[in-house]
């Protein structure tokens, strides 16, 4: 695919400013809910790395820990096939701890459902989910999402951690890939 051509077909969906304002709101809610209680954020790699980094830097709770999990879903390139496997496991103990799972975007819900069920088996004291973008159109499984940044109906989004074939993760804003007619 011609990357120059693709660049022209990106449409701004969320600006840097909109994202940073929303992250401050999410951080405030989380601070209110947990106060200074020990809290572990588990970010999903790679997509959530920028979101998690910005989110935690807005949280003043001194008892915050951070870890990452990486999963792979196979099948189609732009959507989950229903088969998810862990390729990098969580490395800290979650037993008896408050956990917030941080994901960049929820689409079908299959990835988050898998991770939610997996983390439950690690016996946390509590488990909540925080997503930057809740994309509704292709939802297949219902999962409780406690903290949502933006609700977006449809479209393939890139930037701010989100990729298209590993490109565009570094963009400071979020854009939609507009397919060629």
| Dist CA 56 CA 41 (whole Å) | 8
Nearer to ligand IMP, 98 or 108 (CB): 108
Told to check if 98 binds ligand IMP by CB under 6 A, we report no
User: Are the beta carbons of 14 and 162 closer than 8 angstroms?
Assistant: no
Q: Which stretch binds ligand IMP (CB under 6 A): 7-15, 53-61, 90-98, 105-113?
A: 105-113
Residues in the chain: 181
Told to check if 109 binds ligand IMP by CB under 6 A, we report yes
Told to check if 105 binds ligand IMP by CB under 6 A, we report yes
User: Are the beta carbons of 143 and 129 closer than 8 angstroms?
Assistant: yes
Interface positions, 115-174, toward ligand IMP (CB under 6 A): 135, 156-157, 162-163
Nearer to ligand IMP, 31 or 167 (CB): 167
Told to check if 102 binds ligand IMP by CB under 6 A, we report no
What single-letter DSSP state applies at residue 81? -
Nearer to Mg ion, 39 or 115 (CB): 115
**What is the CB neighbour count within 10 angstroms for residue 31?**
15
CB of 104 to Mg ion, least distance (A): 5
The helix (run of H) or strand (run of E) holding residue 7 is helix 3-8
Give the residue carrying structure tokens 């975007």.
105
Interface positions, 33-62, toward Mg ion (CB under 5 A): 47
Nearer to Mg ion, 38 or 143 (CB): 143
Instruction: Sketch the per residue contact string, 59 through 88, with ligand IMP: x for CB under 6 A, - otherwise.
Output: --------------x-----xx--------
| Dist CA 16 CA 173 (whole Å) | 5
CB of 96 to Mg ion, least distance (A): 27
User: Are the beta carbons of 21 and 181 closer than 8 angstroms?
Assistant: no
Among 137, 128, 140, which residue's Cα sits nearest to residue 157?
137
- Residues lying near ligand IMP in the complex (CB under 6 A) are found at 47, 73, 79-80, 103-112, 135, 156-157, 162-163
């Amino acid at each position: 695919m011609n990357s120059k051509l693709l660049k022209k077909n990106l449409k701004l969906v969320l600006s840097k400013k909109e994202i940073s304002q929303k992250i401050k709101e999410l951080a405030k809610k989380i601070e209110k809910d947990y106060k200074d209680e020990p809290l572990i954020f588990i970010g999903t790699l790679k997509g959530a790395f920028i979101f998690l980094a910005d989110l935690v830097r807005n949280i003043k709770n001194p008892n915050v820990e951070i870890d990452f999990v990486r999963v792979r879903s196979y099948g189609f390139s732009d959507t989950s096939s229903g088969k998810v496997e862990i390729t990098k496991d969580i490395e800290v103990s979650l037993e008896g701890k408050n956990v917030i799972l941080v994901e960049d975007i929820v689409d079908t819900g299959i990835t988050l459902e898998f991770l939610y069920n997996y983390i439950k088996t690690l016996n946390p004291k509590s488990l909540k989910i925080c997503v930057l973008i809740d994309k509704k159109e292709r939802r297949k499984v219902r999962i409780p999402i406690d903290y949502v940044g933006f609700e977006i109906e449809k479209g393939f989004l890139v930037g701010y951690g989100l990729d298209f074939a590993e490109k565009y993760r570094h963009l400071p804003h979020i854009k939609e890939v507009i397919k060629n007619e």
